[in-house]
Amino acid sequence: MSQTPSLGERLDGERFWADLQAQAEIGALQPRGLRRLALDENDNRARLWLIEQGQALGCHAFHDAMGNVFLRREGQEPGLAPLLIGSHMDSQPSAGSYDGTLGVIAGLAVLRTLQEQGMEHARPIEVVAWTNEEGARFAPGASGSSWFAGQRDAATILEAHDDLGTRFADALAACLAELERHGASAFRPEPFVPHAFLELHIEQGPVLESLGVPVCAVSGIQGVNWYEIEVHGQANHAGTTPEAARRDALMGAHALIGALRDAVAEQDDQVRFTIGKFSVSPGSTNTIPQRADFTIDLRHPSQAVLERLDTAFHELAQRQWSGCDIGLRVTSRVAPVSFDPALVELADSAAKSYSPDAPQLVSGAFHDAIHLARVCPTVMLFTPCRAGISHHPDEHIERSDAETAVRALAETVERLLNP
């Protein structure tokens, strides 16, 4: 007696890959890479492309007050909470083509399979593209998912500015007007509580590639604190000011950074400490810097470690460094999260059905799933990227790995669609 093929087995891998490559043309850089900053023209074009694809499959398209885009395939019991799958489509300024986008196109592939195979399911299913996950244009990131999950208020998000002074609120208004001008999306005024949330993503690390494994379940995400540091000195003539009389902001920043690194070194090797932005003013060769500004991205799986380092950072900021005063501002705190154990087991089983040696990983990067996990059962799946490279035009995934991962996602989806 023949067994009915599963949703993952029915999925058209060739069409999935073609959609992924088509999406990569929106905002493509030459000779390779992607630039699709949140709520810019390319990001808006990507949203419209997604909506058009969903509507061609007979799905209903929605957007909400943060510009999150949803495609819904109705279930036999519309009153049931929908199963939600997806990720984001915005990118870093010079990025690869798969970070975030893979998870959205994987969701589209699941919808396409359900529709083309005429498969019925009790629970509605929705694919989502979250707004501003990266935070490259408007910091902090994950604006859409954090608002949806009640973790950040709209007023604060809307007042964020990009480096050119554009307000998030204004960029969002232009995006929503574009969606409505094309008649592409109905407005959904309030967030809802999904039955569960699934997110497929590239690993952004080297583990899966080193193991030769195409997919795995993710058991949680480490926490993230973002800081902005200001070092205030005194500008003066570089040739006439004695060393003892100087209040050099760059030297103050250098000394402070050394102390911050020492504090980090007192913890375990799971701490991730990154200074991603650094600027000096007034920026003249023969003028002592008056001000230095830099950012810190601090990550760890343990909230207790993050809290210890937060205390240490604030204490260090109370001191003077090379005669300079310090200002420290926390711009974002996202606590570590463990995903729903039953969903992790389900995703792990689906991954192992395609790759018996699949491990379970903790994500070192933050994702929209970290916020959804506060409101509904959540799990992620990872697929490898070459050499662990991400946030760079050299980001690359193998088609065979991606197809295996999206089939494992589909297997997980199928097990959740009927109560």
Give the amino acid at 291: R
How confident is the model at residue 351, as a pLDDT?
98
Q: Does domain 7-221+336-416 have CATH number 3.40.50.970?
A: no
**Stretch 333-352: mean pLDDT:** 96
Q: Provide the Cα torsion 254, 256, 261, 264; round to 10°.
A: -160
Topology of domain 223-334 in CATH is Alpha-Beta Plaits (3.30.70)
Q: Where would I find the H helices in 137-220?
A: 143-148, 154-158, 168-181, 207-211
Cβ proximity of 257 and 243 under 8 Å: no
Dihedral (C-alpha) 309, 314, 319, 325: value to the nearest 10 degrees? 130
Q: Mind listing the pLDDT tens digit for each residue in 110-154? A: 999 999 999 999 999 999 999 999 999 999 899 999 999 999 999
Write out the residue limits of the CATH 3.40.630.10 domain(s) in the chain. 7-221+336-416
Report the 10 Å Cβ neighbour count for 409: 29
Asked whether the predicted pLDDT for residue 1 surpasses 50, the reply is: no
Number of residues that make up the chain: 419
Q: Which two tokens stand for residue 68?
A: 């999150």
Residue 414: pLDDT band (50, 70, 90) is very high
pTM of the model: 0.85
- CATH 3.30.70.360 residue ranges in the chain? 223-334
pLDDT, tens digit, for every residue of 57-85? 999 999 999 999 999 999 999 999 999 99
